Amino acid sequence: MASPFDLTGRTAIVTGANTGLGQAIAVAMAQAGAGIVAVGRSSMAQTKALVAETGNPFHEITADLATLEPIVDIVEQADAAAKADGSRLDILVNNAGIIRRADAIDFTEADWDAVMDVNLKSTFFLTQGVAKRMLADGKGGKVINIASLLSFQGGIRIPSYTASKSGLAGLTRLLACEWAGKGINVNAIAPGYFVTNNTEALRADPARNEAILARIPAGHWGKPQEIGGAAVFLASDAAAYVHGVVLPVDGGWLAR
């Protein structure tokens, strides 16, 4: 009997797959059997090499999600790549995101717009484009948004990031309400404090680093590979009746 976590024969689009959490999720899904369409702004050579070790297909799309301009092309290229592999667009992981740090009193419109455009606007319209393909053949699919602890909490010095990730949690629930009956599962993962480029400034600040570690029951910053299992679960048949969930993967942060 096949494992309910098996993704063999499916194709997953993973945005921001060049590094960090996106790379870890792409590799975990490939290890579970999925072909990967990786979308990112910079070289994805390392991700490609790691996926190659699984023997599953890998396709790379270079695109900047700061605007909606590449959305149609991403969907068309991903769909063509999946079909070339004898598959379809089964899974979308919206991982690409940016952050800007400044006190709220000094925060600029440019930094507000830049974060909201990537983290929320482009995420919605890419999801819309992929969902149209998922609905076209009646086979549905899985959408996994990468939210944040800031979907639940306020944080400090990151107003647009908090707003975008809170919005993404709400969008996850709205899309689940609209699409659950049409065979598309829409869920989100809320990563805790992981070792990524986005948290480099925090880890470099001795006081902030110590304060954060003191609150994590697991006692360490998350390693990117520790998020892959949650993504595979939400992408798999094991999560067939899971809709509209924002799943924390945070070392117990929210439990404290």
**Residues recognised as catalytic:** 161
d(Cα 138, Cα 155) in Å, to the nearest integer?
41
Q: In the block, which residue shows the tokens 């925060």?
A: 107
Helices (H) and strands (E) in the chain, counts: 9, 7
Distance CA 126, CA 148 (A): 19
State how far the Cα of 204 lies from the Cα of 14, in Å rounded to an integer: 28
Q: State the alpha helices, DSSP H only, in 93-137.
A: 109-116, 123-136
Q: CA-CA distance, 18 to 186, in Å (whole number)?
A: 23
Upper half-sphere CA count for residue 106 (Cβ side, 13 Å):
6
Helix or strand or coil: residue 77? helix
